[in-house]
Amino acid sequence: MINLEVPKKFRALISQAHQVGNSVFRPISRKYDRSEHAYPVELDMFAAIMDGMNDSTGGVAGAGALKQDKEKDEEGIKNGSNMATVLSLAELCWGDVGLSLTLPRQGLGNAAIAAVADDEQFARFGKKWAAMAITEPGFGSDSAAVRTTAIKDGDDYIINGEKIYVTSGERADCVVVWASVDRSLGRAAIKSFVVEKGTPGMEVVRLEKKLGIKASDTAAITFTDCRVPASNLLGDPEVNVEKGFAGVMQTFDNTRPVVAAMAIGVARASLDRTRQILNSHKIKTNYNAPLQSLTQLQAQLYRYEADWEGARLLTLKAAWMADNGIPNSKEASMAKAKAGRTANAITLGCVEMLGALGYSEDEMLEKWARDSKILDIFEGTQQIQQLIIARRLLGKSSAELK
Domain ranges, ordered by start, for the chain: 8-122, 129-234, 246-394
Answer whether 129-234 and 246-394 agree in fold.
Answer: no
* Backbone φ and ψ of 149, nearest 5°: -115, 150
Please report the DSSP string for 96-150 in residue order: -HHHHHTSTT--HHHHHHHHH--HHHHHHHTTS-EEEE--BTTBSS-GGG---EE
For domain 129-234, the CATH superfamily is Butyryl-CoA Dehydrogenase, subunit A, domain 2 (2.40.110.10)
Q: Provide the pLDDT for residue 61.
A: 37
Evaluated on CA atoms 385, 386, 388, 389, the torsion sign reads positive
Q: How far apart are CA 312 and CA 52, in angstroms?
A: 26
Q: How far apart are CA 175 and CA 108, in angstroms?
A: 10
Q: What is the pLDDT along the chain (402 residues), one digit of tens a residue?
A: 667 788 899 999 999 999 999 999 999 999 999 999 999 999 887 776 666 655 554 444 333 334 444 445 555 678 888 899 999 999 999 999 999 999 887 777 887 888 789 999 999 998 899 999 999 998 876 777 899 999 999 999 999 999 999 999 999 999 999 999 999 998 889 999 999 999 999 999 999 999 999 999 999 999 999 999 999 999 889 888 766 565 566 778 888 999 999 999 999 999 999 999 999 999 988 888 888 889 999 999 999 999 999 999 999 999 999 999 899 999 999 999 999 999 999 999 999 999 999 999 999 999 999 999 999 998 889 999 999 999 999 999 888 998
Asked if residue 65 lies in contact with residue 298, where contact means CB atoms within 8 angstroms, the answer is no
Cα separation values, 192 from 130, 235, 239, 289, Å: 12, 8, 12, 54
Is the pTM here over 0.85, yes or no? yes
Cα separation values, 328 from 26, 66, 254, 324, 367, Å: 33, 14, 9, 10, 32
| Options 1.10.357.10, 1.10.240.10, 1.10.3720.10, 1.20.140.10; CATH of 246-394 | 1.20.140.10
First to last CA, the chain: 34
* Backbone φ and ψ of 63, nearest 5°: -90, 55
Asked if residue 212 lies in contact with residue 373, where contact means CB atoms within 8 angstroms, the answer is yes
**Rg for the chain, CA atoms, rounded:** 21
Amino acid at 79: N
CA dihedral 252, 253, 255, 261 (to 10 degrees): 140
Cα separation values, 369 from 216, 238, 256, 349, 357, Å: 16, 44, 20, 9, 13
The arrangement of secondary structure in 8-122, i.e. its CATH architecture, is Orthogonal Bundle (1.10)
Strands 156-167 and 233-234, sheet pairing: unpaired
Catalytic residue check, 5: no
Asked if residue 173 lies in contact with residue 128, where contact means CB atoms within 8 angstroms, the answer is yes
From the list 74, 162, 379, 400, the catalytic residue is 379
Q: Provide the pLDDT for residue 73.
A: 52
Q: Provide the pLDDT for residue 221.
A: 98
User: How many alpha carbons fall within 13 Å on the CB side of residue 160?
Assistant: 7
